[in-house]
Structure 1
Amino acid sequence: MTHHRGLTADDSVATAAAVAETLFADAAERDVAAAFPAAALRLLHESELMMAPFPVRLGGTGLVEPAAVDALVSVLRLVGGGDLSVGRLYEGHVNAVALVGRYGSAAQLERLAEDVRAGGMSGVWNAEGAEPAGLVPEDAGWRLAGRKILASGVGSVSRPLVPVARDGVTLMTLPRLAPGERADLSRWTAQGMRSTATGTVDLAGLPIGPDDIVGRDDDYRRQPTFFGGAWRFCAVQLGAIDRLLDLYRADLVRLGRGADPYQRQRVAACATAAETAALWVGRAAGMVAAEARPVAEILAYVGLTRGVVERAGLDTMEAVHRGLGLGAHLRPHPVERVCRDLATYLRQPAPDGAMADAAATVLASPEPARTLWRPA
């Protein structure tokens, strides 16, 4: 089925800018509820941002296509600035659609688009616990076994992309889940990102047919898109850094403290951190999309980007806390919630390993520093 609407990835950026302010206005209520943000996801559906990652022919705006990478950076940044929990869920949805589009069949992508158009959503559930996910042969297909942990959107994500092990390789599966099915949210007690509905999902017995297998053996782990895709969560984190700077300077102006030299010094530091992070994220996204450089160089740059964004987030939170004092730690000040969310979301897997691998690539390169990431 073909859907032509004439919208572009730039239209998605404009939509995200408007949606972000609505997300921010309601974020405190979602944080208190600490439940899946159903109303926020309905807003993303109504605004057509959930369809945006699909090709134009399927009713999207081609947001995950290489030529649209700058627009995707902006959309993720804006949604993250509205609400990091919603940004996390949206980034997972975008990632899943991109993986099906890259490695799956045209029919699989069309079926996923139909499901999303009908109100469904996707996400990527990869983290393994004590019972790793796998495939068990059964009749003409398979059934899933095991569990996934730290899966965002459990109980609400209807078409997750679930990588599983089979005979020493990783396969991507697209099971169907009913609302509330198989979800255990009891262990998600994090201080921030409370409305991501992150938990454990029991996969045992879910049927998987040939049409539910996406791509070939180990496609999920192909580089540079596997590790290189980390730039997307960096873009979401960047949105929260932007928001903190906006909240900080708004308070200084409201309180008449903008002329204080120490406050100005902090504002300058925050602005520098945000812009530095933005430049790194934009360049990392472009390098992954283009795939024009050696894989090791691309992954090294993305690894360094993770470190840059983490440092920018930590420095910005410290400066804002110092500048606003105790008030920034008291509800209902939005800085209190945004900092809790950002501090939690910055805790991504293996940050030291990412930096160590990047350093190894830099050490092994014969290029002078000025040409490490660009033509001589």
Structure 2
Amino acid sequence: MTFPFDALTACRAELEEEATVNDAQAAFPTGGLDRLRQLGVLAAPLPQTLGGRGFGTEPHGAASLLHMLRLVGQGSLALGRVVEGHVNAIRLIALYGTPEQLAHVGAEVHEGALYGLWVTDDVTPLRMEQTPRGITLHGGKAFASGARQVTRALVTARAGQDGTGRDTTRMLLVALGKDRAIHNASGGLTGMRGAGTGQCDFTGMTVLPAGLVGQAGDYLRQPEFSAGAWRGMAVALGGIERLTALLRSQLAARDRAGSPAQQARIGLALIAGETALLWTRRAALVASSQDRFDSGDISGTVNLARLAVERAGLEVIELVERGLGLSAFVRDNVVERIIRDLSTYLRQPAPDETLCEAAAWFTRRNLPQPDVHA
């Protein structure tokens, strides 16, 4: 039985409508998440041996995962962010966790669990302390997507210093109940309001040693640390494509699509979208071929792709705003919300440093060439 991509495509309007309705109150898209759960989106990242499709956990699943995330992003970038975090968490557990941990994840996901990956520290960074009762946590995480909906979060915590005096980082799985301490995102985000982003305080929470995933430093281990960014690009790609489609349809509805200036904008938006697709696909194929390529080649390729998708997204936003004029800034136009969501989603850390590192790496070597038929 193949994944129901047609059904996922068909529910785009449903996801988009909920995202628009929820935006004003920054409400979480519970209906959309339930719909995706029914379609098997949350189970798709699990290995096939655990009843999944290997999207993101097996090399053959990269192209299908790209398509799935892209379609979710076309309907709701906020929901796409939540699904991306779910996929990322399962991917890291599959890579660094034990078979028993992964099997437990599989059982929970089939029962409807939503996983999250929370790594951005709050004002008080999250740290762990070994105690007779287990591992006691202190501090919290900021910008935690799905803060009130995630069933179990994979978090990073400071675990003291190693033999060289450097801080070490561990990953651990934290079960989240209704008593979780959640605060709204600092300052109130203008975009991605439906992602349920919040600050989570873990102080006083105890985790059993079995909740530790992998070894110290695994989360920052290359190339996976950089390579995982392609999944976020796939969601952003969906937003870019949706904005381009709205530019075309709204100009046509206003009988303005025949203007040479508007035709140029449509053409440039289509080029930008295709550029984003090509770079995202290259990044996905390279990242899923870690047995073929050097770690630096993988990290550098994905980082260049990340910046290419960002540039494409910003270009499409500008083209849509110029093409539609003030109507693109009216709140009852779906374009206005998608622009806010995409602008927020595209903000990734250290873009200048990322560009320079990738450029330095490829100054004396060529970009890796993935198998385009994969």
Give the TM bin, normalised by the shorter chain: over 0.9
Give the AA of the match of 1:294: D
Q: Secondary structure at the match of 1:124?
A: strand
Q: Which residue number corresponds to residue 87 of structure 2? A: 94
Question: Alpha carbons of 1:296 and 1:90: their partners in 2 closer, same or farther (altered >3 Å)?
Answer: same
Question: Alpha carbons of 1:99 and 1:19: their partners in 2 closer, same or farther (altered >3 Å)?
Answer: farther
Contact 1:296 1:361 in 2 (8 A): yes
Query: Shift of residue 326 of structure 1?
Result: 0.8
The unaligned stretches of length 5 or more in structure 1 are 1-6
Q: Which residue number corresponds to residue 367 of structure 2? A: 372
Cα distance in structure 1, aligned partners of 2:342 and 2:81: 11
- What is the aligned residue count? 362
Q: Which residue number corresponds to residue 50 of structure 1? A: 42
Q: Secondary structure at the match of 1:246?
A: helix
Per-residue CA shift, 1:197-234, capped at 9, x if unaligned?
11211111222112211112222111111111111111
Q: Are 1:362 and 2:359 matched, yes or no?
A: no
Cα distance in structure 2, aligned partners of 1:252 and 1:337: 18
Q: Which residue number corresponds to residue 149 of structure 1? A: 142
TM-score by length of 1: 0.92
Query: Shift of residue 186 of structure 1?
Result: 5.3
Query: Shift of residue 14 of structure 1?
Result: 3.5
Per-residue CA shift, 1:326-346, capped at 9, x if unaligned?
111112111111001111111
Cα distance in structure 2, aligned partners of 1:230 and 1:57: 26
Q: Which residue number corresponds to residue 255 of structure 1? A: 254
Contact 2:53 2:61 in 1 (8 A): no
Cα distance in structure 1, aligned partners of 2:355 and 2:194: 30
Q: Which residue number corresponds to residue 27 of structure 2? A: 35
Bigger Cα displacement from structure 2, 337-346 vs 27-36: 27-36
Query: Shift of residue 58 of structure 1?
Result: 2.2
Match of 2:69 among 50, 70, 76: 76
Bigger Cα displacement from structure 2, 311-320 vs 140-149: 140-149
Cα distance in structure 1, aligned partners of 2:31 and 2:301: 37
Q: Secondary structure at the match of 2:94?
A: helix
TM-score by length of 2: 0.93
Query: Shift of residue 353 of structure 1?
Result: 1.2
Contact 2:55 2:65 in 1 (8 A): yes
Q: Which residue number corresponds to residue 18 of structure 1? A: 10
Q: Which residue number corresponds to residue 179 of structure 1? A: 178
Q: Secondary structure at the match of 2:174?
A: coil
Q: Are 1:127 and 2:120 matched, yes or no?
A: yes
Per-residue CA shift, 1:287-330, capped at 9, x if unaligned?
01101221112111111111111111111111111111111111
Q: Which residue number corresponds to residue 345 of structure 1? A: 345
Contact 1:127 1:148 in 2 (8 A): yes
Question: Alpha carbons of 1:47 and 1:180: their partners in 2 closer, same or farther (altered >3 Å)?
Answer: farther
Query: Shift of residue 98 of structure 1?
Result: 0.8
Q: Are 1:192 and 2:191 matched, yes or no?
A: yes
Bigger Cα displacement from structure 2, 14-23 vs 326-335: 14-23
Q: Which residue number corresponds to residue 85 of structure 1? A: 78
Cα distance in structure 1, aligned partners of 2:195 and 2:179: 14
Query: Shift of residue 24 of structure 1?
Result: 1.4
Cα distance in structure 2, aligned partners of 1:180 and 1:308: 41
Query: Shift of residue 115 of structure 1?
Result: 2.1
Give the AA of the match of 1:36: F
Query: Shift of residue 26 of structure 1?
Result: 1.9
Give the AA of the match of 2:323: G
Contact 1:304 1:355 in 2 (8 A): yes
CA RMSD of aligned residues (A): 1.6
Contact 1:274 1:312 in 2 (8 A): yes
Contact 1:224 1:295 in 2 (8 A): yes
Q: Secondary structure at the match of 2:321?
A: helix
Query: Shift of residue 257 of structure 1?
Result: 2.0
Cα distance in structure 2, aligned partners of 1:121 and 1:110: 15
Query: Shift of residue 163 of structure 1?
Result: 1.2
Contact 1:77 1:238 in 2 (8 A): yes
Bigger Cα displacement from structure 2, 284-293 vs 171-180: 171-180
